[in-house]
């Protein structure tokens, strides 16, 4: 029943993997892209043992229809639709970690940066849009719908909390850019850069022809 | 000997995976850092019935802010209805406050899902700002003493046994201590 040193090393390696798998590695940052199953559109995702952020393309035609139905006129709906919108889901997943490793997550979109053609700039937040809508005397119900449809500018998530909303990067359809994100968790500031994101092109998808 | 070794490897790996997966599905209702007095409101539902928060003093009140266009709000609505069917008349009240939509829109939606709990309407989006929620859905729990004690951001399975037990434990015990 004696274990060789190789066996012992393998067991130690697996136990370490087990512990870090259960705890989730709270600092290591994973990134992936693919096609979102529900939206059937490209997504970019960042996750650690304590959080996950998924940004899913929204087609301009989707946003155009959505905001027309909520009281915006055609010009305003067009402006929103062509502003590079991503459906955003940001979760505090730290509850799945090692006992005692659950941690509050905080972020502020004003700290995030869109990197486009070598230059950095802020995102366009609820507050930026609100002043435009007030100046244009947009109806109150439309303003309310817009405000709550957009991703919250800042938020604090306890374990298990998350939001779902639209993020606006204010670029032309089809533009490619990097996104620098920051968030506070486990008592420290965390940063990641999501490379080569792409604003959805302004296309009008046709139904697939039946065979 | 080799078989025992490989079985051990499989047990360790599978246990780790299942623990990690179980952790991700856990439903949470976190306490707020500092409980605060629940802002008072009086809102009407689609049938013109007025709901005043202070009318429910002595009960646990679950205040859920939502809208029909918000996907996670729609996801959690059936579980709120199931919760309502289980806690109705047992010292827990549900007020699902619609944010910024018309009575017609709310009526169509609630009809589709056959929701029976009270749905007051914050048509001007003023009550939600008092709490203050930043996104939809956000749910606050108001204690029988009128204090906001817990907050859940994002959808939950509200009839999950863990959450139900947590809510039931917040009620004022009756004379039998139950």
In chain A, residues with a C-beta closer than 8 Å to the C-beta of B17 are 21
Q: Which secondary-structure segment (H or E) carries A107?
A: strand A105-108
Tell whether A183 lies on the interface with B, counting CB pairs under 8 A: no
Helix (H, G, I), strand (E, B) or coil at A154: strand
Supply the pLDDT for residue A20: 46
A5 or B164, higher pLDDT: B164
In chain B, residues with a C-beta closer than 8 Å to the C-beta of A148 are 67, 70, 99-100, 125, 135-136
Of B61, B59, B63, B55, the C-alpha closest to B122 is B63
The closest CB to that of B154, out of A97, A140, A162, belongs to A162
In chain B, residues with a C-beta closer than 8 Å to the C-beta of A159 are 28, 30
Supply the pLDDT for residue A4: 65
Interface of A with B in 84-123 (CB under 8 A): 91, 93, 95-97
Supply the pLDDT for residue B68: 93
- pLDDT tens by residue, chain A, 211 residues: 555 665 656 565 555 444 444 444 556 889 999 999 999 999 999 999 899 999 999 999 999 999 999 999 999 999 999 999 999 999 999 975 555 588 999 999 999 999 999 999 999 999 999 999 999 999 999 999 999 999 999 999 999 999 999 999 999 999 999 999 999 999 999 999 999 999 999 987 655 554 4
Dihedral angle, C-alpha B101, B103, B106, B110, nearest 10 °: 160
In chain B, residues with a C-beta closer than 8 Å to the C-beta of A97 are 23
Supply the pLDDT for residue A24: 46
B2 or A21, higher pLDDT: B2
> What pLDDT digit, counting tens, does each position of B40-50 carry?
999 999 999 99
Q: What is the DSSP letter of A112?
A: -
Q: Are B74 and A38 in contact (CB under 8 A)?
A: no
Supply the pLDDT for residue B23: 43
Supply the pLDDT for residue A203: 84
> What pLDDT digit, counting tens, does each position of B122-159 carry?
999 999 999 989 999 999 999 999 999 999 999 999 99
In chain A, residues with a C-beta closer than 8 Å to the C-beta of B67 are 145, 148
Q: Are A91 and A161 in contact (CB under 8 A)?
A: yes
Helix (H, G, I), strand (E, B) or coil at A61: helix
Q: Given an 8 Å threshold on Cβ–Cβ distance, is A22 in contact with B16?
A: yes
Of B139, B140, B137, B103, the C-alpha closest to B120 is B103
Supply the pLDDT for residue A101: 80
Q: Are B66 and B73 in contact (CB under 8 A)?
A: yes
In chain B, residues with a C-beta closer than 8 Å to the C-beta of A19 are 16
Q: Report the half-sphere exposure of A189 (CA within 13 A, side-chain side).
A: 7
What is the fold, at CATH topology level, of the domain defined by B28-169?
Answer: Glutaredoxin (3.40.30)
Q: Given an 8 Å threshold on Cβ–Cβ distance, is B100 in contact with A144?
A: yes
Of B9, B22, B12, the C-alpha closest to A18 is B12
Q: What is the DSSP letter of A150?
A: B
Supply the pLDDT for residue A21: 47
Q: Given an 8 Å threshold on Cβ–Cβ distance, is A158 in contact with B13?
A: no
- Min CA distance, B37 vs chain A (Å)? 20
Supply the pLDDT for residue A31: 96
Whole-number Å distance between alpha carbons of A56 and A33: 10
Per-residue DSSP letters for chain B? -HHHHHHHHHHHHHHHHHHHHHHHH----PEEEEEEEPPP-EEE-TT--EEEGGGGTTSEEEEEEE-TT-HHHHHHHHHHHHHHHHHTTTTEEEEEEEES--HHHHHHHHHHHT--S---EETTS-HHHHTT--SSSEEEEE-TTSEEEEEEES---TT-HHHHHHHHHTSPP-TT--
Whole-number Å distance between alpha carbons of A107 and B134: 12
Asked, as a colleague might, if the bond just before B59 is cis with ω within 30 of 0, I would say no
Supply the pLDDT for residue A209: 54
Of all residues in chain B, the one with the smallest CA distance to A24 is: B20
**For chains A and B, what is the number of CB pairs under 8 angstroms?**
100
Whole-Å CA distances, A102 to A23, A40, A160, A197: 10, 32, 10, 30
Supply the pLDDT for residue A28: 82
Supply the pLDDT for residue A195: 96
Interface of A with B in 24-43 (CB under 8 A): 24
Tell whether A160 lies on the interface with B, counting CB pairs under 8 A: yes
Q: Mean pLDDT throughout B83-99?
A: 97
Owner of token pair 């266009």: B69
How far is C-alpha B116 from the geometric centre of its chain's CA atoms?
A: 15
The closest CB to that of B100, out of A17, A97, A141, belongs to A141
What's the pTM value of the predicted model, to 2 decimals?
Answer: 0.83
Tell whether B71 lies on the interface with A, counting CB pairs under 8 A: yes
Owner of token pair 């809510």: B167
Averaged confidence pLDDT in chain B = 88
- Min CA distance, B73 vs chain A (Å)? 10
Of all residues in chain B, the one with the smallest CA distance to A23 is: B20
> What pLDDT digit, counting tens, does each position of B48-85 carry?
999 999 999 999 999 999 999 999 999 999 999 999 99
Given a cut of 60, is residue B19 above it in pLDDT? no
Supply the pLDDT for residue A98: 55
A68 or B23, higher pLDDT: A68
- Min CA distance, A117 vs chain B (Å)? 32
Q: Are A121 and A114 in contact (CB under 8 A)?
A: yes
Residues in chain B: 178
Whole-number Å distance between alpha carbons of A44 and A34: 7
C-alpha dihedral sign at A144, A147, A148, A153? negative
**Which pLDDT band, with edges at 50, 70 and 90, does B15 fall under?**
very low
Tell whether B16 lies on the interface with A, counting CB pairs under 8 A: yes
């Amino acid at each position: 029943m004696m274990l060789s040193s190789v066996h012992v090393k393998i067991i130690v390696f697996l136990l370490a993997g087990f512990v870090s798998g259960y705890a989730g590695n709270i600092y290591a940052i994973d990134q992936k892209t693919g096609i979102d199953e529900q939206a059937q559109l490209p997504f970019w995702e960042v996750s650690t043992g304590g959080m996950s952020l998924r940004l899913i393309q929204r087609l301009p035609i989707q946003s155009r229809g959505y905001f027309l139905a909520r009281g915006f006129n055609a010009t305003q709906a067009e402006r929103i639709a062509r502003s590079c919108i991503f459906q955003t889901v940001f979760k505090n997943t730290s509850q799945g970690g090692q006992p005692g490793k659950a941690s509050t997550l905080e972020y502020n979109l004003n700290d995030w940066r869109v990197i486009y053609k070598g230059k950095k700039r802020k995102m366009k937040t609820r507050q930026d849009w609100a002043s435009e809508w007030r100046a244009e005397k947009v109806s109150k119900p439309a303003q309310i719908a817009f405000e709550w449809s957009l991703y919250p500018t800042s938020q604090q998530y306890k374990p298990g909390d998350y939001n779902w909303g639209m993020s606006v990067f204010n670029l032309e359809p089809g533009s490619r850019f990097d996104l620098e994100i920051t968030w506070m968790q486990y008592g420290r500031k965390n940063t990641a850069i999501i490379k080569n994101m792409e604003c959805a092109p302004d296309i009008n998808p046709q139904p697939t022809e039946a065979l | 000997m080799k078989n025992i070794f490989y079985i051990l490897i499989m047990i360790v790996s599978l246990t780790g995976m299942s623990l990690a997966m179980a952790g991700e599905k856990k439903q949470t209702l976190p306490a707020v850092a500092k409980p605060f007095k629940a802002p008072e409101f009086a809102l009407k539902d689609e049938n013109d019935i007025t709901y005043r928060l202070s009318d429910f003093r002595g009960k646990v009140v679950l205040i859920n802010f939502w809208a029909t266009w918000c996907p996670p709000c729609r996801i959690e609505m059936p579980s709120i209805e199931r919760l309502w069917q289980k806690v109705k008349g047992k010292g827990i009240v549900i007020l699902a406050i619609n944010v910024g939509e018309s009575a017609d829109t709310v009526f169509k939606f609630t009809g589709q899902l056959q929701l029976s709990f009270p749905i007051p309407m914050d048509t001007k989006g003023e009550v939600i700002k008092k709490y203050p929620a930043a996104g939809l859905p956000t749910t606050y729990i108001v204690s029988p003493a009128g204090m906001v004690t817990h907050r859940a951001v994002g959808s939950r399975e509200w009839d999950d046994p863990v959450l139900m037990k947590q809510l039931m434990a917040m009620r004022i015990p009756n004379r039998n201590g139950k």
